[in-house]
């Protein structure tokens, strides 16, 4: 099945901008990955627009399109994502998203001025969609969920740029970090692209050898959840 145009455009921008690279990369888990994705590299205007628009399209075409009041970006990478993707959604459909809001947290609570650890929209009694770049071990997302719940908000889902679709290094050999979070919190977690999309979208674009390496990596570490 052909990828949606916004996914194709996103992968093209990521590749041309050097945000998606192929080769040999050691991950934090010590696994040697044949590809590397860094959402922090989308810092130039055209690149940032591509990821902002892709997030917005992903949300707007998902089960979460009508199901949130606030987009929440965990510090630090989530902060610019929350603000700019919220803008992209409002720009896309002001009637639907004009009364929505965005919010983010501080790493440390402020003890003067307005105080607290939450900046932007109050979260009390709000349906909150968390936005971030990726899910690694899931620790940061759990911390964000705890903060949102402490502020009396309800987490309705998580959106990330990439789902690597791979098992946790010390897991059961079947479950991914995203799959574990889904099961633990019973919430939808969506992504702009997943590893299968990269494989499909890059065929005929990168070398057959790179595709083969990614497929072998998927076979070795791929999650089944």
3-state SS of 53-115 is HHHHHHHHCCCCCCCCCEEEECCCCHHHHHHHHHHHHHHHCHHHHCCCEEEEEEEEEECCCCC
pLDDT of residue 170: 81
The dihedral through the CA atoms of 150, 186, 188, 221 has a sign that is positive
pLDDT of residue 76: 87
| Residue tagged active-site, from 44, 46, 96, 110 | 110
> What residue has token string 């307005």?
114
pLDDT at 9 over 80: yes
pTM of the predicted model as reported, rounded to 2 decimal places: 0.92
Judge whether 110 counts as a catalytic residue.
yes
The pLDDT confidence band at residue 114, using thresholds 50, 70 and 90, is low
CA distance 216 to 46: 33
Token readout for 221 is: 């570490």
Q: SS3 sequence, 168-191?
A: CCCCCCCCEHHHHHHHHHCCCEEE
Judge whether 126 counts as a catalytic residue.
no
Please state, rounded to an integer, the average pLDDT across all residues of the chain.
93
DSSP letter string over 104-150? EEEEEEE-STT-EEEEES--TT-EEEEE-SB-SSSHHHHHHHHHHHH
Token readout for 135 is: 């899910």
**Cβ atoms of 109 and 168 closer than 8 Å:** no
DSSP single-letter state for residue 208: H
Pairing of strands 116-120, 101-110: antiparallel
CA distance 113 to 197: 46
DSSP single-letter state for residue 203: B
**pLDDT tens track for 133-157:** 988 877 889 999 999 999 999 999 9
**pLDDT tens track for 89-108:** 999 999 999 999 999 998 76
**pLDDT tens track for 196-206:** 999 999 999 99
CA distance 192 to 157: 14
> What residue has token string 């402490």?
150
């Amino acid at each position: 099945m052909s990828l949606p145009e916004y996914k194709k455009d996103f992968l093209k921008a990521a590749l041309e901008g050097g945000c998606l690279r192929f080769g040999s990369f050691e991950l934090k888990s010590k696994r040697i990955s044949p590809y590397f994705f860094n959402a922090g590299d989308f810092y130039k205007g055209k690149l940032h627009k591509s990821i902002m628009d892709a997030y917005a399209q992903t949300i707007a075409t998902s089960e979460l399109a009508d199901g949130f009041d606030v987009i929440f970006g965990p510090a630090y990478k989530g902060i610019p994502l929350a603000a700019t993707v919220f803008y992209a959604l409002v720009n896309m459909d002001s009637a639907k998203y004009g009364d929505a809001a965005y919010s983010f947290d501080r790493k440390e609570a402020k003890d003067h001025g307005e105080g607290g650890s939450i900046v932007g929209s109050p979260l009390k009694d709000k349906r909150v969609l968390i936005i971030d770049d990726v899910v690694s071990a899931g620790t940061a997302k759990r911390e964000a969920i705890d903060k949102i719940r402490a502020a009396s908000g309800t987490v309705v889902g998580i959106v990330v740029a990439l789902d690597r679709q791979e098992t946790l290094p010390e897991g059961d050999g079947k479950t991914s970090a995203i799959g574990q979070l889904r099961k633990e919190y019973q919430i939808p977690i969506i992504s702009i692209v997943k590893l299968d999309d990269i494989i499909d979208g890059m065929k005929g674009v990168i070398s057959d050898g790179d595709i083969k390496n990614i497929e072998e990596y998927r076979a070795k570490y791929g999650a089944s959840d």
